Amino acid sequence: MDELIDIVDEHGNYTGKTCLKSEAHKYGYFHPTIHVWLYTSDKQILLQKRALTKKVFPGMWDISVAGHIAAGEDVKIGAIREVKEEIGFDILSENLFKIGTRKHMVNHTNGIIDNEFHHVFITELTVPFETLTLQKEEVEELKLFNLDVILHTKDYENLLLPQYQDYYAFVYNQIINALT
């Protein structure tokens, strides 16, 4: 879906300008996005298999929930909205913990230029896995993996992106800290 999003500068500061998501990806405008990592009390991580119709990384096992922040939308509210839309899980604001912001720049072979600031959150999955509902346009499948899987992405095919191992290790450590 093409939505109106805010444009930020190369430092993540809002410029006061907006554009369609497709324009940001065409021209490489920086924009805010969210990553929400959901974990369980028994050290599992929820990953989603991206819909096969996605323009980048179709069918890949990826972050629990990721998405774009709508123009003018508060980042945390956007994260809560994306989780509800993609997997049908209602998160209370006080249960969603921001662990950082990550600058991400990649040019995809299909012409999409992803220049984004990922606002990264963690939260515990507090409902039974079976109650989650998929947004079929975005998510092909959901699965719980042992949390350690994000430390060893190079050992798996089609699971996260091994070149971002430092990022995944950071997320892993933040989740372990939250569980203790």
pTM value > 0.75:
yes
First-last CA distance in the chain: 39
**What's the CATH number where 110 sits?**
3.90.79.10
Strands 31-39 and 113-124 come out as: parallel
- Distance, in Å, from the CA atom of 68 to the CA atom of 78, rounded to the nearest integer, reads 8
**Total domains, the chain:** 1
Structural domain that includes position 79: 4-179
Q: Are 8 and 15 in contact (CB under 8 A)?
A: yes
Per-residue pLDDT of the chain (180 residues; tens, 9 = 90+): 689 999 999 999 999 999 999 999 999 999 999 999 999 999 999 999 999 999 889 999 999 999 999 999 999 999 999 999 999 999 999 999 999 999 999 999 999 999 999 999 999 999 999 999 999 999 999 999 999 999 998 888 889 988 899 999 999 999 999 999
pLDDT of 48-96, one tens digit each?
Answer: 999 999 988 999 999 999 999 999 999 999 999 999 999 999 999 999 9
